[in-house]
Chain A
Amino acid sequence: MSEILKQLSELVIAGKRAEVPDVVKKALEDNIDVDVIVKTMSDAMQVVGEKFNKGEYFITEMLLSAHAFKAGFEVLKPKLEEKAAKEFGKGEKLGRIVFGTVQNDIHDIGKNMVESALTAAGFEVYDLGIDVPLEKFIEEAEKVNADIIAACALLTTTMDQTKNLIELLKQKGLRDKYKVLIGGAPLSQEYADRIGADGYGEDAFDAVIVAKRLMGIEEGKKN
């Protein structure tokens, strides 16, 4: 790995969001391929995930890294779009995910981290924000032709909205069209099984593993 990419990786892991954009710009000036830069940052986020799983990192550190990743990604966005237009059909995303916090729940911190982790892993994420009505999840999924509907709830009082989402999909005859991924502090695998969700993500990085599994992608086999 070149010195500049090594530096970029370290900055994302350390969550130095203010310093990342300049280093990304420098890497582009050095004619490093945009995909390589993205991969460097994604791999760095993977390290962040491992640190989180090991209990070395917490929300503070995860947020700083997620913001550092985002700041770098913003710099690359025009280049990535340019490249996508040129190489249409190549380098497709792993899948499309419509994502939001359920109605009457305004917690966004966890949702934002999961979104960053999913984007870093190569998913195309449509963020509906917080306090999202159930109908909106389905409307948006239909509109963008999503693969997965991901809903999070952070309150014991709003968690049943995830169950209602599944019921609504059934009522509309759309249950088999989408995989439903749920997450949030009061939820559990036990709860997900009970309501018939396709997957439960315990944290941001677990959500990536589960989303990949739902898309039939085995962990370890990178595209």
Chain B
Amino acid sequence: MNSKEVVLEAFKLGVPERLPVTPWFGGGMWIVYNTNDSWEKWPESAEKMANTYISINEKVQSDIIFCGSGMNNFPVAALGGNLKYMGVSAPPDIAPPFMVKNEEDINQLYAKLESGALDEDRIVTAIRDATRLVVDRVGDEVLVCMTAFGPFTYSGQFMGIENLMMNLAENPELVHKLLEFSTKFHMEYYRPLIEDGVLKEQMVVITDPMAAPGLISKLNYQKFALPYQKKLVDHYHSEGSVIWLHMCNNWEPDNRYELLPETGAEFFLVDPKFNLGLAKREIGDKICLGGNVDQINVLNAGTPEDVAKNARKCIEQAAKGGGYVLSAGCDVPPTVPFENIQTLIKIGKSTKYKDDGEVILNE
């Protein structure tokens, strides 16, 4: 089984030959930082981006390549959002936010989207084209995706996060209208790749950090985030893609984890704050899980021995029976030492499965 096959087998809740592994979720910042590039120059050419993704992955040997990582705000900028660059070590963000205040503002966003603002945007085109090139060149061997935020988080970028949070209570109708738009916006960002079949048997990422526990209640997640995430999952499934879902934080209180399989996504990335063993016991038979190696205290600040210890703990908690991808619990800081990444990959790739799903951990 090659890289792509082991991941897809795990996504099907099956038992692959060996443990699928990726050192990061995204890794865009790490790549830009470690190739001495800058966020301003990085998207200049799709060819350069694609070559970098491929050459870095030859070195790193991740089972998944995340195209567009760190660039989730560029499509927002294409609709007129003001992109703020914050040096090489943080992804560009939208500041100040759009500040959608009413239905008319949402209609204006629709008008921009329908006039082809995304297709005309140089950087959006470069991200899509880089994804095409990576799929074309290594997409049979490695699972490839293009990353984007989920509808709730994009709505925060359009309305301002604070306003979005308060409008959940004060103006829910407007929030639903904006969420409808953000869902359409996500589909529109991916549309040319989907139409051309580029992401068939490849991956779509929905990362919706603003819809995480601690930020909104379980009820609000059910009302305002889950239905729109599900709508995206259904849409991409009908086009043959698999879905990687991520929201940060701890999903244990209120048994909120029960809702994750309802999205329909194949995979959920477990944050270091969420007990991976509990997740595996409670929902591991319904959705493939990944994580949750601590990207801050271990991958970034620890030694290779610390990484090995954390990785083995994750494997013990979640690998048995398949349906698991060893990974960092969220996007990694750019300063993670290469030897720590190598350690994680080595442990993943040397961990084999018996036919009955028992793990053979290579000490």
Q: Give the shortest distance, in Å, between B217 (CB) and chain A (any CB).
A: 5
- When the two chains form the complex, which single residue of B161, B215, B296 contacts A156, counting CB atoms closer than 8 Å? B296
The number of residues on chain B lying at the interface, defined by a beta carbon within 8 Å of a beta carbon of chain A, is 35
Residue B222 at the chain A interface, CB threshold 8 Å: no
CB pair A155 B296 closer than 8 Å: no
Residue A132 at the chain B interface, CB threshold 8 Å: no
Residue B297 at the chain A interface, CB threshold 8 Å: yes
CB pair B169 A58 closer than 8 Å: no
What is the chain A residue whose CB lies nearest that of B297? A190
With contacts A59-B216, A60-B216, A60-B217 taken as known, whether A108 is within 8 angstroms of B301 at the C-beta atoms is no
With contacts A59-B214, A60-B220, A156-B333 taken as known, whether A109 is within 8 angstroms of B165 at the C-beta atoms is yes
Residue A159 at the chain B interface, CB threshold 8 Å: yes
Q: Give the shortest distance, in Å, between A64 (CB) and chain B (any CB).
A: 6
What is the chain B residue whose CB lies nearest that of A186? B296
Which chain A residues border B253 with CB–CB below 8 Å?
55
With contacts A59-B216, A106-B84, A109-B165 taken as known, whether A157 is within 8 angstroms of B29 at the C-beta atoms is yes
Residue A7 at the chain B interface, CB threshold 8 Å: no
With contacts A15-B169, A59-B165 taken as known, whether A157 is within 8 angstroms of B215 at the C-beta atoms is no
Complex CA gap A186/B317 in Å reads: 23
Residue B266 at the chain A interface, CB threshold 8 Å: no
Q: Give the shortest distance, in Å, between A220 (CB) and chain B (any CB).
A: 26
| A-B contact list, 28 entries, CB within 8 Å | A55-B253, A55-B254, A58-B215, A58-B217, A59-B216, A60-B165, A60-B216, A60-B220, A63-B162, A64-B166, A104-B86, A104-B89, A106-B93, A106-B95, A108-B162, A109-B162, A156-B295, A156-B330, A156-B331, A156-B333, A157-B89, A157-B91, A157-B334, A158-B89, A158-B90, A190-B297, A191-B296, A191-B297
Question: Chain A residues in contact with chain B, CB under 8 A?
Answer: 15, 55, 58-61, 63-64, 67, 104-106, 108-109, 112, 131, 155-160, 185-186, 188, 190-191, 194
Known A63-B165, A106-B84, A156-B332; further 8 A-B contacts with Cβ < 8 A: A59-B215, A60-B169, A60-B217, A63-B162, A64-B166, A109-B162, A160-B335, A186-B296
